[in-house]
Amino acid sequence: METQEKLSSTATVTIEITDANDNSPVFDQEAYSISVDETALPGDPIATITASDADTGSYGTKGIVYQLIGLGTEKFNVNKKSGVITVAPCELPGAQHCLDYETKSVYYLNYKATDDNGNGHSTVVQLKITLNDNNDNPPIFEADNYKALIDEGSSKFEPPLQVHATDGNFTSTTMVEITVLDVNNNHPVFGQEEYVVSVPEDTKIGTSIEKVVAEDADSGINAELVYRIEKGAFDDFTIDNKSGIVMVSSKLDYDLRNSYSINIIAVDGGMSAFKSSSPSNLKIFRAILLEKNYGINVLSGTPALTGTTTLNVRVLNTNDKIPFFAPSTQRAEVKEDAAVGDVVHTLVAKDLDVDDIQALNFAASEPITAVDKNGKEVMDDLSFKVHIKISDVNDNAPQFSQKEHVVNIVESIPLSPPAPILQLRAHDADTTSHLTYSIIAGNEGDVFSLDPSTGIMYPRVSLQNRKPKYSLKVQVSDGVHTDTAAVYVIVQAINQNQPVFVKPSSHNATVYVEELVLVARDHGSQTWHEGIQFLTIVIKDIDDNLPRYTSTDPYVFHVKENLPASTRIGVNVNARTGEFVAQLVATDKDADVNGSLSYTIITSHLYRGGANFSSGSVVPQPFAISESGKLTTATLVAEYNQERFKLEIVAKEKAPPYREATAYVNDRHVPARDRPSDAIDFDDSRYFESVRLSVRLPQRSLRRVCHRECCGKWNLL
C-alpha cells in the first residue's frame, strides 16, 4: 500500500565470520637438541616441545597433534597433545635399562606438529637426542688369563706389573701367571783345568782317548752344555758334543807331530727365558683391577756362557817305519885307475823311528841292502839303486883316421858363405876327451881356416891369382896328447873373367857419328867369354865458313815523314827512339856456336841535301841494332828531314876465330809529296825463307809480294 508518509522499521543483523584453516603450526626453533641419561627409566620425561597456530579452534593451537619420525623412535614416546617426550618401555621385558650409551649414543629424529587434530597443516623440525654415558658396566679384561716373567733374584717387576682395575662401582677378576726365570749367570766349569793323556801313534781311528766333563750351576736349558774343540787338534782328534768324549779322527804320526795342546770349550744353553719355564716356577695370583690402564712385560734370557780347558796329548813313538835309503837312487863315481880299498861312496839311509842314523846297520849283499837297529832288512818293495860310474882317465892319444889328404878345389870357391873344403876326423879311446883341431904349418897368408871343434876346413880369402898348391900340416889335441896329418890343397884355375876393353877406356865411348857394337872374345880352352861395348861416332863441326848476308847489294830503306810509327814502309819522322826500322839477316853454314852471329853498327854517315859525299859520322848514333839484327831508331829522326844515312853493319861470329861480314844500309827521309808514284810497297818489313844445304844453283828461293800504287796490281818478284 502506498501512502504519502514514509514509514520505517529497525532490526539487528548479526554476521558471524567462520575461521578457515589457513595457517600452519609454528615452532619456536628450527631444530631442537636434548639429552637424556642412558640409565633413564621407561616413562621418564626428557623434554616438552610445543608449537603454536594462529588459527582458532581445532585449526589452531588446541588442535595440534605431535609425532616422532625417524630411526630409533621406538626408544622414545611423545604425548600427542602436550608434546611431552618420555623414555619408551624396553624392548626386552625385565631389562633394567632401555637406553645404552655404548650401543648408540645419539639419535637424529624428526619432530612433527599437525593442526586440525592431525588432519590439517603440518610443520616438521629436526630433533637430536644425545645419551649421557653413565657408569652402568663392569670392567672387562682383554684376556681371561695373563702371564708375566721375572728373573730370579729380582725384587720388583721392571716396569711395574699392574693387573687390577676399578670403575668405582663395578669390579672384575682375571688370572695372572707369573713365571720366575732362571738367569744364565753361571759359567760352565770343567772338573780339571788341564787334562793330560798319552796315545801311541798306531792308535786306531775312532778310539776314545779322554772324556772331559763340565758343570753349570744354572738350571734348565742354561745348564745344558755343548762341547767343542776350539783349536790345537789339527783335525787329528774330534769330540762328541754331548758327552765330551775325545776320539782319534785321523792316523797319528809321531814323526810329523808328537804332541798336541787342544783347547776345549763348553757352551751352556743361555737363550730365551721362555724355554726355561717349568710348572714348579709358576705362582698364580688373582688380582683385582683397580685402574683401567695396566701392562705386563716379558723379559728375555742372557747370552750363552762358556768354560775352557786344555787337553795335552803326547803321541808315543812306535817302531812302525821301515828304514829307507835317501835318495832312493844314489850315484857314485870312481876313476878307472883307482886302487883297491879306495872309498867309492858312502850310502845314506834313514829311519823315521830313530833320531840318530848311527842306529842303522848296513850290510853288503846281492843286491846291496840296509837293515835297521833291530836287524830288520829293507823291504824288497822299496826300490833302491846305486849307480857307480867308472871315470875315464886321459891316458890315450887322439889319432887321425887318415894321415894324408889331397883336395882339389877351384880358385872361385865361394867365400860368403864359405864352402867347406874337407872335414878332418880323429878318434880318442878316452871317453871324456875333447878334441881340438888346428893348422900348425903351411897356411901362408892365412888362406884357410879350420874349425877347432868340427875339423871342417874353409877358405878365408879368394884363391884367384894365388898359389896353385898348398901343403898344410894339421894337428888334433885332447889337451894332453896330440896327433898330426898332412893336407894338400890343389887350386885349379878356371876361365871365369870376361875380356875388358882398354881403349876406349869408357864403357860407351863417343868418337864420331855412327853407332857401332864392339865384341871382344877370349880363347878359353874349357869355356870362352866375350865382352860387348857400344861405340858412338859423332862428326864434330869446325868453323870453316864465313858469315854472309842474304844480299850482296846495299840495303836501302826509306823513312817517310808524317807516317804512323807502325807503318811497315819506314819510320815516321816524329818517331821516338826504339822504333823498328829494318831486320838484317846474315847466315853462317857452321853449326851450333860456330854458326851463331851478333850484329854491330860500325859507322853512321850523314849525306845532307842530296850530296854525294858524307858530311861525317853522326854522334851519337841515330840508329841501334840488336844481336839478332833488328835495326831501330836511337834518336829522334825529325831533324834529319830530306837527309840520307849510310850505315856500316857487321855480322860477327860469337866463337873464335870470330869471322865477320859487313853490309851497308842506306836510309833516306822522303816527304810524302815527293814520294815516287811508282814506289813499291812490300807487304812486310822482313821475310824469312829456308834453303836446303844441297840446293843446286840457280834456284828461285824467295817469293815476295809487292804492290805498286800506280797501277793497283800485285807483282811477283
- Of 249-253, 289-293, 367-371, the range with the highest mean pLDDT is 249-253
| Mean pLDDT value of segment 343-368 | 72
Q: Where in the chain is the domain with CATH 2.60.40.60?
A: 26-132, 189-271+302-316, 399-492, 548-675
Q: In the block, which residue shows the cell 864359405?
A: 418
The confidence band for 565, taking pLDDT boundaries of 50, 70 and 90, is: very low
Q: What SS3 class is residue 446? A: helix
Write a three-state SS string for 98-112. CCCCCCCCEEEEEEE
> What CA–CA distance (Å, rounded) separates 324 from 382?
8
Q: What SS3 class is residue 223? A: helix
Answer yes or no: is pLDDT of 563 > 50: no
pLDDT at 494: 76
> What CA–CA distance (Å, rounded) separates 555 from 585?
11
Q: Please, where are the H alpha helices in 528-590? A: none
Please name the amino acid found at residue 643.
Answer: E
Average pLDDT of every residue of the chain: 77
Name the least confident of 333-342, 407-416, 549-558. Answer: 549-558
Higher-confidence residue of 127 and 255: namely 127
Q: Which long-range contacts (C-beta less than 8 Å, at least 24 apart) are formed by 193-196?
A: 193/309, 193/310, 194/309, 194/310, 194/311, 194/312, 195/309, 195/310, 195/311, 195/312, 196/311, 196/312, 196/314
Higher-confidence residue of 198 and 9: namely 198
CATH numeric code, 399-492:
2.60.40.60
Residue pair 503/468 in contact by the 8 Å Cβ criterion: no
Which region holds residue 642: left if phi is over 0, alpha if psi is between -120 and 50, else beta? left
Strand order across the beta sheet in which 208-211 lies: 208-211, 245-248, 237-239
Q: What is the DSSP letter of 677?
A: T
The topology (CATH level 3) of 548-675 is: Immunoglobulin-like (2.60.40)
Q: What SS3 class is residue 404? A: strand
The confidence band for 7, taking pLDDT boundaries of 50, 70 and 90, is: confident
Please name the amino acid found at residue 597.
Answer: L
pLDDT at 199: 95
The confidence band for 383, taking pLDDT boundaries of 50, 70 and 90, is: low
Answer yes or no: is pLDDT of 204 > 60: yes
The pLDDT tens digits for 616-674 are 666 677 788 888 888 888 776 555 554 677 888 888 888 888 788 777 777 665 444 44
The pLDDT tens digits for 466-488 are 889 999 999 999 989 999 999 99
Q: Which residues contact 68 (CB under 8 A, 6 or more apart)?
A: 76, 77, 78, 85, 109, 110, 111, 112, 127
Q: Which residues contact 334 (CB under 8 A, 6 or more apart)?
A: 342, 344, 388, 389, 390, 391
CB atoms within 10 A of CB 244: 21
Checking DSSP bridges between strand 173-181 and strand 282-288, what pairing results, if any? antiparallel
Q: Which residues contact 665 (CB under 8 A, 6 or more apart)?
A: 554, 555, 556, 557, 582, 584, 631, 645, 646, 647, 649
- Of 286-295, 521-530, 707-716, the range with the highest mean pLDDT is 521-530
pLDDT at 693: 46
Identify the H or E element spanning 335: strand 329-335
Handedness of CA 25, 26, 30, 32 (dihedral sign): negative
The topology (CATH level 3) of 189-271+302-316 is: Immunoglobulin-like (2.60.40)
The confidence band for 539, taking pLDDT boundaries of 50, 70 and 90, is: confident
Which region holds residue 683: left if phi is over 0, alpha if psi is between -120 and 50, else beta? alpha
Higher-confidence residue of 400 and 690: namely 400
The confidence band for 317, taking pLDDT boundaries of 50, 70 and 90, is: confident
Residue pair 411/494 in contact by the 8 Å Cβ criterion: yes
Q: What SS3 class is residue 444? A: helix
What is the total residue count of the chain? Answer: 717
> What CA–CA distance (Å, rounded) separates 631 from 645?
13
Answer yes or no: is pLDDT of 495 > 90: no
pLDDT at 231: 94
Strand order across the beta sheet in which 469-477 lies: 404-410, 482-492, 469-477, 436-441
pLDDT at 87: 92
Look at residues 649, 676, 642, 514 and name the one whose alpha carbon lies nearest to residue 583. Answer: 649
Higher-confidence residue of 240 and 522: namely 240
CATH numeric code, 26-132:
2.60.40.60
Residue pair 55/21 in contact by the 8 Å Cβ criterion: yes
